Chains A and B, each alone.
Chain A
Amino acid sequence: MKKEISRRDFVKASGALIVCFSTASLVEPLAMAQGPFDTHPSHVDPEKLDSWLAVASDGTVTAYTGKCDFGQGIYTVQTQLVAEELCVSISKVKLIQCDTSVTPDQGTTSGSQSTPTNFNTRNLAQAAATAREALVGMAAQRLGVSADQLTIENGVVSAKDGRHVSYGGLIGGKHFDIAVSSTAKRRSTSEWKVLGKPVPSLDRVALMSGTFEFVHNVQVLGMVHGRVVRPPEIGATVGNVDEKSVQHVPGLIKVVVRNNFIGVVAEKQWQAAQAAKDLKVTWQPRLGLPAQKDFYDYLRKQPSRDLMLVNSKDVDNKLKSASRVLKATYLHPYQAHGSIGSSCAVADVQADHATVWSATQSVYPTQHGVSALTALPLDSVRVIFVRGAGCYGLNAADTVSYDAALLSQAVRRPVRVQLTRQDEFLSENYGSACVVEQQAALDASGTIDAWDCETWTASFGGRPGYDQPGNVITGMLAGFDPETINPRTAVEPTGELRNGNNAVPSYVVGCVNGKCGGAGSIRSERVLTHAVKSPFFTGPLRSPLRLQNTFAHECFMDEISAYARADPVAYRLQHLRETRIIDVVKAAAKTANWDARPSPKPGTARTGTVTGRGIACVAYEGDNGYAALVAEVEVGQASGRVQASRFVVAHDCGPISNPEGLRNQIEGGVLQGMSRALGEEITWDDRKVTSIDWQSYNTLPLGIQVPIIESVLIDRPEAKATGAGETAITLVAAAIGNAIFDATGARLREVPFTPDRVKATLSSRG
């Protein structure tokens, strides 16, 4: 590894402690660390305060986080967090995100876990609180007064007699050399001056003025351009590569073949694009794909890995003795992340070290993956996060980082790889297709006595993590095995309720070993899940499985309440016992001026445009945020077109760190959920995926009639902070489906609710 300029040398040379270089500044990639620590890639010790924070002589605070921003606003809100705990203004805080050389390993930025991870009583929050207490302690000693006699105002600690000392004067340029304290006191929500306030996103001016640096803009000295040539179908293997077919392409540097991975490298991007297009490759096809029209039946018949999440063992008896049993099956398709920017990465792999600029959610796991692919020692690989287009989960950011590493290693030059739209659509890790079968036993009064749920989820590959680069296409093509399904029958649940995928509906008690972690009151409960091998790569897509399962639960709850001739809100409340989910349901209904009555709406016409309202609610992942959503829709019964006119969301994520950012996430989540509910679906023929661009994969463009979205934010200063980016989207398909039922009496049980599907369902009303 090249010698890095040490922090001390750097301080002397630049006269300032912290310099954040732009990756586009054409510097030697490893010439200097991004931050002030001489950290070795695997030596950022999260137990040490200095791994999280540094204060410069001018009082500027640099903070290091392993949770990075893709547009969800975590950059801004983590900056607020550090400013709050250190009692400085936001402008004094510089946040360095996700870089294996300088930030602590915080795994993956995903699953609505950034706020729970960094805003409660660990990690970044606790480090900042530790730093404040340490600084106050130093000031007390310096000024000769006790710490409780001191006040802090924007990084200046003052005694009552007016004597004061700044953070810069206390520690500027020096290490704290202490551990992160688990007892350092967080500032209470009642003291908040920076957190809890609506702070506009700190990147907005750079974004709007076109000066923000995305990973697509990274340029490194000597950089050349790569493109990949993907197999037309997952699992196809390379037969022959005719390198002569691209000899005519000017600027071509190399055709790279490694196992089934193929790429080209050229001096210019356009040349690489030409070579990738013209390269003649014969692929050995595989067996073909299961027919899409029968796919959900196919899923149910495959060997599966099973998990019993709850089982009160009386469900079969209850179903037998019930006065009425209701059954329904819900279907959810594969959907794409479909980032607006096809993924891109830059890698510089030399003989003894590698640097990768990547939009990955997981710099440390990606470091491991690149190490495995290049056979370079782990600590010789540095992965630096640079934002890409919004990813919404595992898009192709990881796989393109591997592409860039493989191509750079083959040519020993820095290589930028831009995937095409088709590359991305063909082989990204789709959100899983799911089948959910529901049964409920009702007693004579119309109350639910037992809930029985069985799910089938298509799964193949996923996040590479630290040791499975084959979980994304490039790793598999290069010869690494993807994670696959090893069939296993379910054993009875142990430990406590695990509802991370919301497979367990909110209305059951969720009892495991006598401990009941569910949000509801139904005591007879059984939830059995089957993971089935998918013919396509799958991976987390915003609200992974929680959205699919919640669609099934919340529509089924609506079906039951309709059968019971009960108001859907009142009927939900009747079966819930957790205060926080009850409160969001009530708040959404109140703000929406909910029309309390059973569905469907009485007396509506069978022709023309009709309107209806629907509700859905969730305890996200069981306890990581609560939301309820009311949807109001118009349904054109001749066209089958569904137009949402209004959404009301009530949202509880504990203490609200930034209401402005939260509203933005809710609004985007609701409309993204609407696009997915109404149109998005991966399609395929007998051999290959056919939804490969924005004409063959539906998305709602900007020019739609945008529905009104009202967000009711329930602040809970006393609670733990939870995630907030995935809660609202979880509810949209269910709320729209329920509103369509209210308007028309027709029940949509398969996403997406395309005009054809809506029309077919309307015509089956009888």
Chain B
Amino acid sequence: MAAISLKVNGHAHTVDVDPETPLLYVLSDDLQLRGPKFGCGLAQCGACTVIIRGQAVRSCVMPVSAVKQQEVMTLEGLGTPEKPHAIQEAFIDEGAAQCGFCLSGVILTAKALLDENPKASDEQIREALSNVLCRCFTHTRMMRAIKRYQRSRA
């Protein structure tokens, strides 16, 4: 066990955990965040996605000690229910969920791509989402929401 300092969604935390602990477990169990979720624990589905340095990162396979001083942003750090981020707003407007368990992977992966490349082509968006799963298959609405967000920033 070791004391590890983390900055998550603008707040500083210190947790006492095994440095090898996946970041996801610290976010969920120690910081009680609900955005990132355990989907597969294998970096194959995206449900645990967070944003670190502008990149979508799978927190289920990243040891917490590897985060170091980099700020972590989770789905709930993006906006609030009262004031959602524009991409969350787009997903709300399109009703782009069923069970909603996959949303960290979908929303944060799309956001990371469009922040880096606001004019990403449909092909590039599909490529970015080629390892993100939604098993309710809400694909139609999710793609519509992503395009809506992209248009809102143009």
Q: Mark A20-54, 1 if CB is under 8 A from B, else 0.
A: 00001000000000000000000000000000000
Name B99's closest neighbour in chain A (CB-CB).
Answer: A71
Task: Give the contacts of B59-93 with A (CB-CB under 8 A).
Answer: 74-81, 84, 88, 91-92
Would you call B119 an interface residue if the criterion is a C-beta within 8 Å of the partner chain's C-beta atoms? no
Would you call B21 an interface residue if the criterion is a C-beta within 8 Å of the partner chain's C-beta atoms? yes
Would you call A561 an interface residue if the criterion is a C-beta within 8 Å of the partner chain's C-beta atoms? no
- A605 → B minimal CB distance (Å): 27
B residues near A664, Cβ cutoff 8 Å: 95, 98, 138, 141
Question: A209 contacts B127, CB within 8 Å?
Answer: no
A residues near B92, Cβ cutoff 8 Å: 200, 204-205, 208
- B19 → A minimal CB distance (Å): 10
Q: How many A-B residue pairs have CB under 8 A?
A: 201
Q: Mark A691-714, 1 if CB is under 8 A from B, else 0.
A: 001110001111111100100000
Would you call B22 an interface residue if the criterion is a C-beta within 8 Å of the partner chain's C-beta atoms? yes
- B137 → A minimal CB distance (Å): 4
Bound state CA distance, A213 and B28, in angstroms?
12
Q: Which of A156-164, A266-274, A405-413, A544-552 contacts B (4 or more CB under 8 A)?
A: A266-274
Name A340's closest neighbour in chain B (CB-CB).
Answer: B135
Name B104's closest neighbour in chain A (CB-CB).
Answer: A210
Question: A214 contacts B34, CB within 8 Å?
Answer: yes
Question: A703 contacts B130, CB within 8 Å?
Answer: yes
Q: Which of A479-487, A499-507, A606-614, A667-675 contacts B (4 or more CB under 8 A)?
A: A667-675
Would you call B32 an interface residue if the criterion is a C-beta within 8 Å of the partner chain's C-beta atoms? yes
Partner of B79 from the list A203, A206, A209 (CB cut-off 8 Å) is: A209
Name A709's closest neighbour in chain B (CB-CB).
Answer: B140
Question: B139 contacts A706, CB within 8 Å?
Answer: yes
Name B90's closest neighbour in chain A (CB-CB).
Answer: A208
Bound state CA distance, A206 and B18, in angstroms?
31
A residues near B138, Cβ cutoff 8 Å: 664, 667-668
Question: B135 contacts A390, CB within 8 Å?
Answer: yes
B residues near A216, Cβ cutoff 8 Å: 28, 37-38
Interface of B, helix, strand, loop or mixed by DSSP: loop
Bound state CA distance, A207 and B45, in angstroms?
18
Question: B127 contacts A703, CB within 8 Å?
Answer: yes
Q: Mark B128-154, 1 if CB is under 8 A from A, else 0.
A: 111111111111111100000000000
Would you call B41 an interface residue if the criterion is a C-beta within 8 Å of the partner chain's C-beta atoms? yes
Would you call B51 an interface residue if the criterion is a C-beta within 8 Å of the partner chain's C-beta atoms? no
- Give the size range of A's interface with the partner: 35 or more
Q: Mark B12-45, 1 if CB is under 8 A from A, else 0.
A: 0000011011100100110011110111111011
A residues near B20, Cβ cutoff 8 Å: 270
A residues near B98, Cβ cutoff 8 Å: 71-73, 390, 664-665, 668
Partner of B131 from the list A219, A660, A701 (CB cut-off 8 Å) is: A701
- Give the size range of B's interface with the partner: 35 or more
- A396 → B minimal CB distance (Å): 13
B residues near A660, Cβ cutoff 8 Å: 95
Question: A71 contacts B25, CB within 8 Å?
Answer: no
Partner of B133 from the list A24, A250, A340, A667 (CB cut-off 8 Å) is: A340
Question: B128 contacts A205, CB within 8 Å?
Answer: no
The winner among B22, B84, B104, B133 for most chain A CB atoms within 10 A is B133
Name A337's closest neighbour in chain B (CB-CB).
Answer: B135
B residues near A667, Cβ cutoff 8 Å: 137-138, 140-141
Name A671's closest neighbour in chain B (CB-CB).
Answer: B137
Known A340-B45, A667-B138, A702-B142; judge A207-B103 contact (CB<8 A).
yes
Question: B101 contacts A341, CB within 8 Å?
Answer: yes
- A415 → B minimal CB distance (Å): 13
Question: A702 contacts B84, CB within 8 Å?
Answer: no
Bound state CA distance, A622 and B18, in angstroms?
57
B residues near A674, Cβ cutoff 8 Å: 137
B residues near A700, Cβ cutoff 8 Å: 137
Give me 6 other A-B pairs in contact (C-beta within 8 A), A664-B141, A703-B132 excluded.
Answer: A24-B32, A216-B28, A341-B101, A668-B136, A669-B137, A671-B137
- Interfacial residues, chain B to chain A (CB-CB below 8 A): 1, 17-18, 20-22, 25, 28-29, 32-35, 37-42, 44-45, 47, 74-81, 84, 88, 91-92, 95, 97-104, 106-107, 125-143
Between A and B, 23 residue pairs with Cβ closer than 8 Å are A201-B95, A204-B92, A209-B75, A209-B88, A216-B28, A217-B28, A270-B20, A270-B21, A339-B101, A339-B135, A340-B99, A342-B38, A389-B135, A421-B42, A668-B136, A669-B137, A671-B137, A671-B139, A675-B137, A693-B42, A693-B44, A694-B133, A699-B133
